[in-house]
Amino acid sequence: MEIKSVTIIGQGNVATHYCRVMNTKGLDAKTVSSRLPFKTEDLQCDLLVIAVKDEAIQTVADKLSESLKSTKTLHPLTVHTSGFISCNCLKKVSENYGSLYPLQTLKKDIETNFDSVPLCTWANNKESALILRNLAKKLSKIHYELDDNQRKTLHLAAVFANNFPNHLFGIAKRILDRENVPFDILFPLMDRTVAAAKQNNPFSIQTGPAFRDEKSVMEQHKLRLTERERCIYEIISNSIMQERNLANNTLVYTEENNNNKTTK
């Protein structure tokens, strides 16, 4: 079976982008509100995509289940787009269900090249898995098949790789704004940091006062921060120092073992 018609439940960022790219790729896709009653014609499709906030997925799934029963419509393959919600919440909606999770920050008013957006799929049976795999490959050049646990792990890692750094970028900008220093002065450094992290284990290329154990510099830094900024500074600095100490202890232990083997 090939997906030709798609109803996307939700009208937020992910729903909007999926609708755009699917129509661009020749599919008949439309978005419908999750708050209004579902129309029979909206449920007569090859694929139902639930693209709402995580907290609302179960509510929409229950509503879909009741609507499909009352309209006596065939239950189409149904997926959600969440990175952290189990696919089992869709069991009552359809015998064929899964996930279509885009690993990217999406905003309605910002165009995104979907060719470079990793799409993560999973389905509860082989036939549905193949259907979603083919769909994902039509929409993007990057595709992974991840089960619930793998997808949840990825979602957590993405928070550390994307959401937290973005928040720190905001703090960095605010610190510079206080002294009228332009934020773009940091751009080459930010780009360099990401490029280096792609090529190396990030822990192995760590730098900075905390890594060098420059306590006097760190104390001077904290004097220039607000209380909330200081708390974040201390938590991250302590984590850097702990990771450095762990690496050093491992190195010493390895060297001692190698020396012992040499002297025997």
State the pLDDT at residue 244. Answer: 93
The domain ranges of the chain are 5-146, 152-263
Distance between start and end Cα atoms, the chain: 67
Residue 71 pLDDT level (bands cut at 50, 70, 90): confident
DSSP assignment, residue 38?
A: P
CATH of region 152-263: 1.10.1040.20
> Nearest Cα to 76, choosing from 61, 97, 101?
97
CATH number of the 5-146 domain? 3.40.50.720
Tell me the helix, strand and coil percentages in the chain, rounded to 5.
60, 10, 30
pLDDT confidence band for 252 (50 / 70 / 90):
very low
pLDDT at 219: 97
In this predicted structure, the answer to whether residue 254 has a pLDDT above a threshold of 90 is no
Stretch 17-42: mean pLDDT: 94
Residue-averaged pLDDT of the chain = 93
Please give the model's pTM, rounded to 2 decimal places: 0.87
